[in-house]
Amino acid sequence: MTSTIDYRIFPGRAPEGTVTIPGDKSVTHRAFLLGALASGDTVIAGANRGDDCLRTAAALRALGVVIDDDGERFVVHGAAGRFAPAPRDIDMGNSGTGARLLSGLVAGQPFPTTLDGDASLRERPMGRVVRPLRLMGAVIDGRRDGSLLPLTIRGGDLRGIRYETKVASAQVKSAILLAGLFADGVTEVVEPALSRDHTEKMIVYLGGPLERTGDAVRVTGGASLKGAPIDVGGDPSSAAFLIVAGLIVPGGKVTVEGILDNPTRTAYLDVLEEMGGKITREAIAGDGPEPAMRVTAEESDLKAIDLGGDRIPALIDEIPVLAVAGSRAKGAFRVRDASELRVKESDRITATVRFLSAFGVDIREEEDGFVIGGNYRKGPFKGAKVSSGGDHRIAMAAVVAALAAKGKSVVSDVACVATSFPLFLPLLGRLGLEGAVTEKGR
Protein backbone atom coordinates (compact mmCIF):
# COMPACT_ATOMS: atom_id res chain seq x y z
CA MET A 1 0.00 0.00 0.00
CA THR A 2 1.28 3.48 -0.91
CA SER A 3 0.58 6.58 1.16
CA THR A 4 0.07 10.27 0.56
CA ILE A 5 1.08 13.19 2.78
CA ASP A 6 -1.59 15.84 3.35
CA TYR A 7 -1.21 19.25 4.97
CA ARG A 8 -4.12 20.76 6.89
CA ILE A 9 -4.01 24.53 7.24
CA PHE A 10 -5.75 26.40 10.04
CA PRO A 11 -5.64 30.10 9.09
CA GLY A 12 -6.16 32.89 11.56
CA ARG A 13 -2.68 34.12 12.49
CA ALA A 14 -0.65 36.53 10.42
CA PRO A 15 2.74 35.35 9.12
CA GLU A 16 5.31 37.40 10.99
CA GLY A 17 9.02 37.01 11.63
CA THR A 18 12.42 36.43 10.02
CA VAL A 19 13.56 33.20 8.37
CA THR A 20 16.52 31.95 6.34
CA ILE A 21 15.74 29.71 3.40
CA PRO A 22 17.78 26.88 1.84
CA GLY A 23 20.31 27.60 -0.88
CA ASP A 24 19.31 28.15 -4.47
CA LYS A 25 18.73 25.00 -6.53
CA SER A 26 20.02 26.43 -9.79
CA VAL A 27 23.27 27.67 -8.28
CA THR A 28 23.78 24.44 -6.31
CA HIS A 29 23.47 22.29 -9.45
CA ARG A 30 26.03 24.47 -11.23
CA ALA A 31 28.41 24.60 -8.25
CA PHE A 32 28.55 20.79 -8.24
CA LEU A 33 28.96 20.48 -12.02
CA LEU A 34 31.46 23.28 -12.59
CA GLY A 35 33.34 22.38 -9.41
CA ALA A 36 33.75 18.89 -10.86
CA LEU A 37 35.06 20.37 -14.13
CA ALA A 38 37.60 22.53 -12.29
CA SER A 39 41.01 21.65 -10.91
CA GLY A 40 41.42 21.91 -7.14
CA ASP A 41 38.69 22.03 -4.51
CA THR A 42 35.40 23.90 -4.59
CA VAL A 43 33.94 24.36 -1.11
CA ILE A 44 30.18 24.89 -1.29
CA ALA A 45 28.43 26.47 1.70
CA GLY A 46 24.66 26.84 1.94
CA ALA A 47 23.95 24.30 -0.82
CA ASN A 48 20.37 23.26 -1.46
CA ARG A 49 19.86 19.77 -0.01
CA GLY A 50 16.64 18.95 -1.81
CA ASP A 51 16.44 15.69 -3.72
CA ASP A 52 17.04 17.36 -7.10
CA CYS A 53 20.47 18.72 -6.16
CA LEU A 54 21.50 15.59 -4.27
CA ARG A 55 20.79 13.65 -7.48
CA THR A 56 23.33 15.81 -9.30
CA ALA A 57 25.93 15.18 -6.59
CA ALA A 58 25.22 11.44 -6.76
CA ALA A 59 25.53 11.48 -10.55
CA LEU A 60 28.96 13.10 -10.35
CA ARG A 61 30.08 10.57 -7.76
CA ALA A 62 28.98 7.82 -10.16
CA LEU A 63 31.26 9.46 -12.75
CA GLY A 64 34.20 9.20 -10.37
CA VAL A 65 34.14 12.65 -8.77
CA VAL A 66 34.96 12.76 -5.04
CA ILE A 67 32.48 14.93 -3.13
CA ASP A 68 32.75 15.20 0.67
CA ASP A 69 29.84 16.30 2.87
CA ASP A 70 30.20 17.16 6.56
CA GLY A 71 26.56 18.24 6.91
CA GLU A 72 27.48 21.91 6.66
CA ARG A 73 29.53 22.12 3.50
CA PHE A 74 30.22 20.09 0.40
CA VAL A 75 33.78 19.86 -0.92
CA VAL A 76 33.99 18.97 -4.61
CA HIS A 77 37.45 17.66 -5.42
CA GLY A 78 37.73 18.81 -9.01
CA ALA A 79 38.39 16.20 -11.67
CA ALA A 80 39.58 18.81 -14.20
CA GLY A 81 36.99 17.52 -16.65
CA ARG A 82 38.28 13.93 -16.62
CA PHE A 83 35.56 11.56 -15.50
CA ALA A 84 35.15 7.78 -15.37
CA PRO A 85 32.35 5.70 -16.91
CA ALA A 86 29.41 5.26 -14.54
CA PRO A 87 28.97 1.62 -13.43
CA ARG A 88 25.25 1.77 -14.19
CA ASP A 89 22.52 4.06 -15.54
CA ILE A 90 22.35 7.38 -13.68
CA ASP A 91 18.97 8.03 -12.07
CA MET A 92 18.16 11.76 -11.93
CA GLY A 93 14.88 11.25 -10.09
CA ASN A 94 12.61 14.19 -10.89
CA SER A 95 15.40 16.67 -11.61
CA GLY A 96 14.91 18.22 -15.03
CA THR A 97 17.70 20.75 -14.43
CA GLY A 98 20.11 18.05 -13.34
CA ALA A 99 19.32 15.80 -16.30
CA ARG A 100 19.62 18.53 -18.92
CA LEU A 101 22.81 20.10 -17.57
CA LEU A 102 24.44 16.73 -17.00
CA SER A 103 23.67 15.88 -20.64
CA GLY A 104 25.97 18.69 -21.68
CA LEU A 105 28.72 17.58 -19.33
CA VAL A 106 28.73 13.88 -20.35
CA ALA A 107 28.57 14.87 -24.04
CA GLY A 108 32.18 15.91 -23.60
CA GLN A 109 33.28 12.50 -22.30
CA PRO A 110 34.78 9.75 -24.51
CA PHE A 111 32.47 7.03 -23.21
CA PRO A 112 28.71 6.36 -23.16
CA THR A 113 26.51 7.49 -20.26
CA THR A 114 22.84 6.64 -19.78
CA LEU A 115 20.63 9.15 -17.96
CA ASP A 116 17.23 8.12 -16.61
CA GLY A 117 14.63 9.48 -14.20
CA ASP A 118 11.30 8.85 -12.55
CA ALA A 119 8.02 8.49 -14.42
CA SER A 120 7.44 12.25 -14.44
CA LEU A 121 10.91 13.12 -15.70
CA ARG A 122 10.63 10.47 -18.39
CA GLU A 123 7.78 12.46 -19.93
CA ARG A 124 9.52 15.84 -19.88
CA PRO A 125 10.98 17.07 -23.21
CA MET A 126 14.69 16.61 -23.81
CA GLY A 127 14.77 17.32 -27.54
CA ARG A 128 15.77 20.98 -27.13
CA VAL A 129 18.96 19.83 -25.43
CA VAL A 130 19.59 16.81 -27.62
CA ARG A 131 19.43 18.71 -30.94
CA PRO A 132 22.34 21.11 -30.29
CA LEU A 133 24.44 18.40 -28.64
CA ARG A 134 24.03 16.24 -31.73
CA LEU A 135 25.10 19.18 -33.89
CA MET A 136 28.24 19.41 -31.76
CA GLY A 137 29.03 15.76 -32.52
CA ALA A 138 27.50 13.78 -29.65
CA VAL A 139 25.71 10.53 -30.51
CA ILE A 140 22.47 10.33 -28.50
CA ASP A 141 19.90 7.54 -28.42
CA GLY A 142 16.60 7.62 -26.58
CA ARG A 143 12.85 7.29 -26.84
CA ARG A 144 11.13 9.27 -29.60
CA ASP A 145 14.43 9.90 -31.35
CA GLY A 146 16.08 11.17 -28.21
CA SER A 147 13.34 13.51 -27.10
CA LEU A 148 12.57 11.54 -23.92
CA LEU A 149 14.57 9.79 -21.20
CA PRO A 150 16.28 7.43 -20.84
CA LEU A 151 19.07 8.84 -23.01
CA THR A 152 22.37 7.20 -23.84
CA ILE A 153 24.95 9.84 -24.72
CA ARG A 154 28.19 8.90 -26.45
CA GLY A 155 30.41 11.94 -26.29
CA GLY A 156 33.86 13.22 -27.08
CA ASP A 157 35.28 14.86 -30.23
CA LEU A 158 32.86 17.80 -29.99
CA ARG A 159 33.07 20.86 -32.21
CA GLY A 160 31.97 24.38 -31.37
CA ILE A 161 28.77 25.66 -32.95
CA ARG A 162 26.66 28.79 -33.10
CA TYR A 163 23.16 27.92 -31.90
CA GLU A 164 20.07 30.12 -31.79
CA THR A 165 17.43 28.94 -29.31
CA LYS A 166 13.77 29.47 -30.18
CA VAL A 167 12.79 29.80 -26.52
CA ALA A 168 14.90 31.42 -23.79
CA SER A 169 15.96 28.49 -21.61
CA ALA A 170 18.76 28.52 -19.04
CA GLN A 171 18.84 24.72 -19.05
CA VAL A 172 19.35 24.44 -22.81
CA LYS A 173 21.89 27.27 -22.83
CA SER A 174 23.80 25.75 -19.92
CA ALA A 175 23.93 22.28 -21.47
CA ILE A 176 25.43 23.74 -24.65
CA LEU A 177 27.95 25.86 -22.74
CA LEU A 178 29.04 22.91 -20.60
CA ALA A 179 29.57 20.83 -23.72
CA GLY A 180 31.32 23.81 -25.31
CA LEU A 181 33.99 23.73 -22.61
CA PHE A 182 35.06 20.36 -24.10
CA ALA A 183 34.62 21.31 -27.78
CA ASP A 184 37.14 22.42 -30.37
CA GLY A 185 36.81 26.12 -31.09
CA VAL A 186 34.16 28.57 -29.94
CA THR A 187 30.61 27.65 -28.93
CA GLU A 188 28.03 30.45 -29.08
CA VAL A 189 24.42 30.47 -27.85
CA VAL A 190 22.02 33.20 -28.96
CA GLU A 191 18.74 33.59 -27.04
CA PRO A 192 15.58 35.54 -27.93
CA ALA A 193 15.70 36.97 -24.40
CA LEU A 194 18.09 36.66 -21.48
CA SER A 195 17.41 33.56 -19.36
CA ARG A 196 19.00 32.79 -15.99
CA ASP A 197 22.71 33.48 -16.19
CA HIS A 198 24.08 31.47 -13.25
CA THR A 199 26.17 29.25 -15.51
CA GLU A 200 27.85 32.22 -17.19
CA LYS A 201 28.58 33.94 -13.88
CA MET A 202 30.05 30.79 -12.34
CA ILE A 203 32.23 29.99 -15.37
CA VAL A 204 33.73 33.48 -15.15
CA TYR A 205 34.11 33.20 -11.35
CA LEU A 206 36.08 29.96 -11.75
CA GLY A 207 38.34 31.56 -14.36
CA GLY A 208 36.70 30.26 -17.52
CA PRO A 209 36.77 31.85 -20.98
CA LEU A 210 33.33 33.37 -21.46
CA GLU A 211 32.16 36.46 -23.33
CA ARG A 212 28.73 38.05 -23.72
CA THR A 213 27.56 40.39 -26.49
CA GLY A 214 23.90 41.36 -26.30
CA ASP A 215 21.82 38.17 -26.39
CA ALA A 216 24.81 36.00 -27.39
CA VAL A 217 27.16 34.20 -25.00
CA ARG A 218 30.23 32.21 -26.05
CA VAL A 219 32.84 29.94 -24.52
CA THR A 220 36.13 28.61 -25.89
CA GLY A 221 36.84 24.92 -25.51
CA GLY A 222 39.90 23.47 -23.82
CA ALA A 223 40.39 26.12 -21.15
CA SER A 224 40.67 25.12 -17.50
CA LEU A 225 38.64 26.20 -14.49
CA LYS A 226 39.99 26.56 -10.96
CA GLY A 227 38.06 25.62 -7.82
CA ALA A 228 37.02 28.38 -5.41
CA PRO A 229 34.72 28.83 -2.39
CA ILE A 230 31.04 29.36 -3.20
CA ASP A 231 28.38 30.62 -0.77
CA VAL A 232 25.05 29.66 -2.30
CA GLY A 233 22.47 32.38 -1.75
CA GLY A 234 18.94 31.47 -0.70
CA ASP A 235 16.64 30.22 -3.45
CA PRO A 236 14.60 33.21 -4.76
CA SER A 237 11.94 30.88 -6.15
CA SER A 238 11.45 29.31 -2.72
CA ALA A 239 11.41 32.72 -1.05
CA ALA A 240 8.58 33.78 -3.36
CA PHE A 241 6.06 31.65 -1.48
CA LEU A 242 6.90 33.22 1.89
CA ILE A 243 7.00 36.72 0.41
CA VAL A 244 3.57 36.36 -1.21
CA ALA A 245 2.20 35.04 2.09
CA GLY A 246 3.49 38.20 3.78
CA LEU A 247 1.78 40.36 1.15
CA ILE A 248 -1.67 38.75 1.04
CA VAL A 249 -2.43 37.51 4.57
CA PRO A 250 -3.94 40.24 6.79
CA GLY A 251 -1.35 41.59 9.22
CA GLY A 252 1.51 39.75 7.55
CA LYS A 253 5.13 40.90 7.68
CA VAL A 254 7.82 38.44 6.59
CA THR A 255 11.58 38.94 6.30
CA VAL A 256 13.66 36.42 4.35
CA GLU A 257 17.41 36.49 4.90
CA GLY A 258 20.11 35.78 2.34
CA ILE A 259 18.15 35.57 -0.91
CA LEU A 260 20.25 35.27 -4.04
CA ASP A 261 20.31 38.70 -5.70
CA ASN A 262 20.27 38.09 -9.44
CA PRO A 263 18.01 40.10 -11.79
CA THR A 264 17.28 37.00 -13.88
CA ARG A 265 15.84 35.35 -10.75
CA THR A 266 14.19 38.19 -8.84
CA ALA A 267 11.98 39.58 -11.60
CA TYR A 268 8.97 38.40 -9.59
CA LEU A 269 9.88 40.96 -6.92
CA ASP A 270 9.69 43.67 -9.57
CA VAL A 271 6.25 42.36 -10.54
CA LEU A 272 5.01 42.33 -6.96
CA GLU A 273 6.29 45.87 -6.44
CA GLU A 274 4.59 46.94 -9.66
CA MET A 275 1.40 45.46 -8.23
CA GLY A 276 1.77 47.69 -5.17
CA GLY A 277 3.50 45.24 -2.85
CA LYS A 278 5.36 46.78 0.09
CA ILE A 279 8.80 45.19 -0.35
CA THR A 280 12.21 46.32 0.87
CA ARG A 281 15.58 44.90 -0.21
CA GLU A 282 18.94 45.17 1.61
CA ALA A 283 22.29 43.90 0.33
CA ILE A 284 24.23 41.20 2.23
CA ALA A 285 27.92 40.39 1.68
CA GLY A 286 29.10 36.86 0.80
CA ASP A 287 31.65 34.76 -1.13
CA GLY A 288 30.99 33.59 -4.65
CA PRO A 289 29.91 34.74 -8.08
CA GLU A 290 26.62 36.34 -6.96
CA PRO A 291 25.52 38.61 -4.08
CA ALA A 292 22.68 38.04 -1.63
CA MET A 293 20.05 40.25 0.00
CA ARG A 294 17.48 40.52 2.80
CA VAL A 295 13.87 41.01 1.64
CA THR A 296 10.92 42.14 3.76
CA ALA A 297 7.30 41.96 2.56
CA GLU A 298 4.23 43.16 4.42
CA GLU A 299 0.49 43.13 3.83
CA SER A 300 -0.39 45.26 0.83
CA ASP A 301 -3.32 46.32 -1.33
CA LEU A 302 -2.43 44.85 -4.69
CA LYS A 303 -3.49 45.85 -8.18
CA ALA A 304 -3.65 43.47 -11.12
CA ILE A 305 -1.33 43.66 -14.14
CA ASP A 306 -0.85 41.92 -17.48
CA LEU A 307 2.19 39.63 -17.65
CA GLY A 308 3.58 38.40 -20.95
CA GLY A 309 6.26 38.68 -23.59
CA ASP A 310 9.93 38.89 -22.71
CA ARG A 311 9.16 39.07 -18.99
CA ILE A 312 7.95 35.47 -18.78
CA PRO A 313 11.27 33.51 -18.98
CA ALA A 314 12.56 35.20 -15.82
CA LEU A 315 9.28 34.49 -14.00
CA ILE A 316 8.38 31.02 -15.19
CA ASP A 317 8.86 29.18 -11.88
CA GLU A 318 7.07 31.83 -9.82
CA ILE A 319 3.92 32.09 -11.93
CA PRO A 320 1.78 29.72 -9.79
CA VAL A 321 2.39 31.77 -6.64
CA LEU A 322 2.14 35.05 -8.56
CA ALA A 323 -1.31 33.82 -9.60
CA VAL A 324 -2.19 33.56 -5.91
CA ALA A 325 -1.13 37.18 -5.43
CA GLY A 326 -3.03 38.13 -8.58
CA SER A 327 -6.15 36.53 -7.14
CA ARG A 328 -6.01 39.06 -4.30
CA ALA A 329 -5.46 42.03 -6.60
CA LYS A 330 -7.84 44.71 -7.82
CA GLY A 331 -8.74 44.19 -11.46
CA ALA A 332 -8.03 41.44 -13.95
CA PHE A 333 -4.68 39.66 -13.60
CA ARG A 334 -3.52 38.00 -16.82
CA VAL A 335 -0.61 35.70 -17.68
CA ARG A 336 0.13 35.01 -21.35
CA ASP A 337 3.02 33.69 -23.48
CA ALA A 338 3.67 31.08 -20.78
CA SER A 339 3.02 27.81 -22.63
CA GLU A 340 6.34 26.54 -21.22
CA LEU A 341 4.37 25.95 -17.99
CA ARG A 342 2.61 23.02 -19.65
CA VAL A 343 5.81 20.94 -19.75
CA LYS A 344 7.01 21.37 -16.18
CA GLU A 345 6.57 18.74 -13.43
CA SER A 346 2.90 19.07 -14.27
CA ASP A 347 0.85 21.14 -16.68
CA ARG A 348 1.09 24.17 -14.39
CA ILE A 349 -1.44 26.22 -16.33
CA THR A 350 -4.18 23.64 -15.81
CA ALA A 351 -3.01 22.86 -12.28
CA THR A 352 -3.02 26.53 -11.25
CA VAL A 353 -6.48 27.08 -12.69
CA ARG A 354 -7.74 23.96 -10.93
CA PHE A 355 -6.52 24.75 -7.41
CA LEU A 356 -7.45 28.44 -7.51
CA SER A 357 -10.92 27.56 -8.78
CA ALA A 358 -11.31 25.31 -5.76
CA PHE A 359 -10.56 28.31 -3.52
CA GLY A 360 -13.35 30.24 -5.23
CA VAL A 361 -11.23 32.34 -7.57
CA ASP A 362 -12.74 33.54 -10.86
CA ILE A 363 -10.06 32.20 -13.24
CA ARG A 364 -10.18 31.23 -16.91
CA GLU A 365 -7.64 28.99 -18.60
CA GLU A 366 -6.12 30.03 -21.93
CA GLU A 367 -3.77 28.20 -24.28
CA ASP A 368 -0.67 30.03 -23.06
CA GLY A 369 -1.80 31.22 -19.62
CA PHE A 370 -4.89 32.33 -17.73
CA VAL A 371 -6.99 35.32 -16.71
CA ILE A 372 -8.08 36.01 -13.13
CA GLY A 373 -11.12 38.22 -12.62
CA GLY A 374 -10.00 39.58 -9.25
CA ASN A 375 -13.50 39.56 -7.73
CA TYR A 376 -12.29 38.00 -4.45
CA ARG A 377 -9.86 40.75 -3.58
CA LYS A 378 -12.02 42.24 -0.79
CA GLY A 379 -12.54 39.03 1.15
CA PRO A 380 -10.74 35.80 1.95
CA PHE A 381 -10.65 32.78 -0.28
CA LYS A 382 -13.00 30.00 0.75
CA GLY A 383 -11.41 26.98 2.41
CA ALA A 384 -10.85 24.10 0.02
CA LYS A 385 -9.35 20.67 -0.42
CA VAL A 386 -6.93 20.52 -3.34
CA SER A 387 -4.22 18.21 -4.67
CA SER A 388 -0.71 19.15 -5.74
CA GLY A 389 -0.66 16.44 -8.38
CA GLY A 390 2.89 15.73 -7.23
CA ASP A 391 4.19 19.16 -8.31
CA HIS A 392 6.17 20.95 -5.59
CA ARG A 393 5.44 24.49 -6.79
CA ILE A 394 1.73 23.80 -7.11
CA ALA A 395 1.73 22.32 -3.60
CA MET A 396 3.41 25.38 -2.07
CA ALA A 397 1.30 27.88 -4.02
CA ALA A 398 -1.86 26.11 -2.84
CA VAL A 399 -0.67 26.25 0.78
CA VAL A 400 -0.10 30.01 0.44
CA ALA A 401 -3.63 30.42 -0.92
CA ALA A 402 -4.96 28.40 2.01
CA LEU A 403 -3.28 30.81 4.45
CA ALA A 404 -5.52 33.58 3.07
CA ALA A 405 -8.68 31.45 3.16
CA LYS A 406 -11.59 31.40 5.56
CA GLY A 407 -11.81 28.09 7.34
CA LYS A 408 -9.69 24.96 7.22
CA SER A 409 -8.08 23.84 3.96
CA VAL A 410 -6.27 20.66 2.96
CA VAL A 411 -3.51 20.38 0.39
CA SER A 412 -2.90 16.71 -0.43
CA ASP A 413 0.30 15.11 -1.67
CA VAL A 414 2.73 17.64 -0.21
CA ALA A 415 5.69 15.27 0.12
CA CYS A 416 6.81 16.62 -3.27
CA VAL A 417 7.94 19.91 -1.68
CA ALA A 418 11.11 18.05 -0.62
CA THR A 419 12.16 18.29 -4.28
CA SER A 420 13.14 21.92 -3.84
CA PHE A 421 12.16 23.27 -0.40
CA PRO A 422 12.16 20.59 2.33
CA LEU A 423 11.91 23.25 5.07
CA PHE A 424 8.86 24.98 3.61
CA LEU A 425 6.31 23.72 6.14
CA PRO A 426 8.62 24.05 9.18
CA LEU A 427 9.46 27.63 8.20
CA LEU A 428 5.75 28.46 7.99
CA GLY A 429 5.53 27.25 11.59
CA ARG A 430 8.36 29.59 12.59
CA LEU A 431 6.33 32.44 11.09
CA GLY A 432 3.49 31.56 13.46
CA LEU A 433 1.24 29.74 11.00
CA GLU A 434 -0.63 26.65 12.07
CA GLY A 435 -0.90 23.43 10.13
CA ALA A 436 -0.73 19.68 10.56
CA VAL A 437 0.80 16.95 8.44
CA THR A 438 -1.10 13.69 8.11
CA GLU A 439 -0.28 10.51 6.22
CA LYS A 440 -2.90 8.19 4.87
CA GLY A 441 -2.87 5.02 2.81
CA ARG A 442 -4.24 4.80 -0.65
- Residue 406 DSSP code: E
Q: Put residue 269 in one of left, alpha, beta given phi > 0 → left and psi -120 to 50 → alpha.
A: alpha
C-alpha to C-alpha distance for 60 and 166, rounded to whole angstroms? 30
- Say which residues have a Cβ less than 8 Å from residue 58's Cβ, sequence separation at least 6: 90
Q: Is 317 a residue of the active site?
A: yes
Q: Which of 6, 24, 235, 317 is labelled catalytic?
A: 317
Complete DSSP assignment for 399-440: HHHHHTEES-EEEE--GGGGGT-TTHHHHHHHTT-EEEEEEE
Residue 22: cis peptide before it, omega within 30 degrees of 0: no
Order of strands, edge to edge, in the sheet holding 434-441? 385-387, 409-412, 3-10, 434-441
Closest Cα partner for 398 from 9, 5, 3, 22?
9
> How many angstroms from the chain centroid is the CA of residue 254?
22
How far apart CA 405 and CA 355 sit, in angstroms, is 13
What's the maximum distance between 2 C-alpha atoms anywhere in the chain?
62
CA distance 323 to 339: 15
CA–CA gap between residue 340 and residue 291 (Å, rounded):
28
- DSSP collapsed to 3 states, 95-131: CHHHHHHHHHHHCCCCCEEEEECCCCHHHCCCHHHHH
Q: Which residues pair with 279 in a beta bridge?
A: 297
A 10 A CB-CB count for 292 gives: 22
Active site residues: 317
